[in-house]
Structure 1
Amino acid sequence: MDMGVVIIAVVAIIGGIGYDALKMRYKYQQLASGKGVDKLEQEIAELKQRIATLESIVTDKPYQLKQQINQL
């Protein structure tokens, strides 16, 4: 294998790992400073609403009837 290709691959791998490390550090700094807490709380509230919607769909009688018909 050509040494140039190996060097390019190693630099790309190290660069990718460094980029991910910096991205994670920035994310944890935001959480530690309290800036990310509001965003996470909003996301949790949205996910709870989506779960409630999905639960209402799954427990709906026509949906259950359709599932039983499909199983036959």
Structure 2
Amino acid sequence: MSGTTMVVLIVLISVGSGVIYDMYKKHLEFKSRTLKDSKEANEHVAAVTKELVELKERVQTLEAIVTDSSYSVKQEINKL
């Protein structure tokens, strides 16, 4: 193997390993960003689910008030 061939191989190996290292680093950054986004999305879903449960409870309470017979009597009295 000549000296020129060895120099070319060393340069190719160096450049190739640098490219592979950069690709791996980018992969790790993407993975950490994805996990962060996933955690934030899960927190948002939990908050929205909690709010939905609270709203359903409020609607049930309002339905109970409106369908109560004494409520309609109060409405008729207020009309007079």
Q: TM-score, normalised by structure 2?
A: 0.48
* Alignment correspondent of 2:68: 60
Q: 5+ residue gaps in structure 1? A: 1-28
Q: Which runs of 5+ in 2 are unaligned?
A: 1-36
Could you give the per-residue CA deviations for residues 3-60 of structure 1, whole angstroms, max 9, x where no partner exists?
A: xxxxxxxxxxxxxxxxxxxxxxxxxx68963221011101101110011001100110
Contact 1:58–1:64 (Cα < 8 Å) also in 2: yes
- Paired with 1:46 and 1:34, the residues of 2 have a C-alpha distance of 18
Which residue in the other structure is 1:39 paired with?
47
Question: Which structure: larger Rg?
Answer: 2
- Cα distance between partner residues in 2 of 1:68 and 1:30: 54
> How many equivalent residue pairs?
44
Percent identity, please: 43
- AA paired with 2:63? E
Match of 2:3 in 1: none
| 4+ residue runs over 2 A deviation | 29-34
Choose the corresponding residue for 1:71, options 70, 75, 79.
79
Distance 1:69 1:38 in 2: 44
TM-score (norm 1): 0.52
Among candidates 46, 51, 57, match of residue 59 of structure 2: 51
